[in-house]
Amino acid sequence: MDGNTDTEHDPMGLFGRPLFNDPKARALSRVGVVDIGSNSVRLVVFDGAARSPAYFYNEKLMCALGAGMSDTGRLNPEGRARALQALKRFQALAEGMNLPPLTVVATAAVREAEDGPEFRDDVLRETGLRIWVIGGEEEARLSAQGVLLGWPGSYGLVCDIGGSSMELAEIAEGRVGRRISSNLGPLKLRDLKGGQKGRDTHIKSVMAKLADHMGPQRDRLFLVGGSWRAIARVDMYRRGYPLHVLHEYRMDKKAVSQTLKFIKSNDLEELRQACGISNARMELVPYAVDVLKRLVQTFKPKDIAISSYGIREGLLYEQMPQELRDRDPLIEACRFAEAKDARLPGFGKKLFKFVLPLFSSADPARLRLIKAACLLHDVSWRAHPDYRAETCFDNATRANLGGLKHSERVFLGLALLHRYKNKREGTRFEELEGLLSEKATLDAEVLGKALRFGSMLWMSDASADGTALEWRPRKKLLKLKLTPESVALYGEVAEARFQSLATSLSAETVVVVQR
pLDDT in tens, 276-291: 999 999 999 999 999 9
Burial class (CB in 10 A: 0-12, 13-18, 19+), 279: exposed
The CB density around residue 189, as the number of other CB atoms within 10 Å, is 22
For residue 234, the one-letter residue type is: V
User: Does 4 or 465 have the greater pLDDT score?
Assistant: 465
**Residue 200 pLDDT greater than 80, yes or no:** yes
Please, are residues 131 and 90 in contact by the beta-carbon 8 Å criterion? no
The candidate with the shortest Cα–Cα distance to 75, out of 34, 41, 104, is: 41
Domains of the chain: 23-133 (3.30.420.40), 136-313 (3.30.420.150), 327-513 (1.10.3210.10)
pLDDT in tens, 419-448: 999 999 999 899 999 999 999 999 999 999
| Residue 462 pLDDT | 54
**Which helix (H) or strand (E) covers residue 322, if one does?**
helix 322-325
CA–CA separation, 362 and 81 (whole Å): 57
pLDDT over 90 percentage in the chain: 79
Mean pLDDT of the chain: 91
> Could you read off the pLDDT of 390-415 as tens digits, one per residue?
999 999 998 877 789 999 999 999 99
Residue 15 has pLDDT above 90, yes or no: no
**Nearest residue to 324 via CA among 5, 11, 4:** 11
Residue 499 near residue 452 (C-beta atoms within 8 A): no
**Higher confidence at residue 165 or residue 16?**
165
Residue 431 neighbours by CB distance under 10 Å? 12
Could you report the per-residue pLDDT of 140-190, keeping only the tens digit for each?
999 999 999 988 888 999 999 999 999 999 999 889 999 999 999 999 999
What was the pLDDT predicted at 4? 36
pLDDT-derived band at 323 (thresholds 50, 70, 90) equals confident
pLDDT at 20 over 60: no
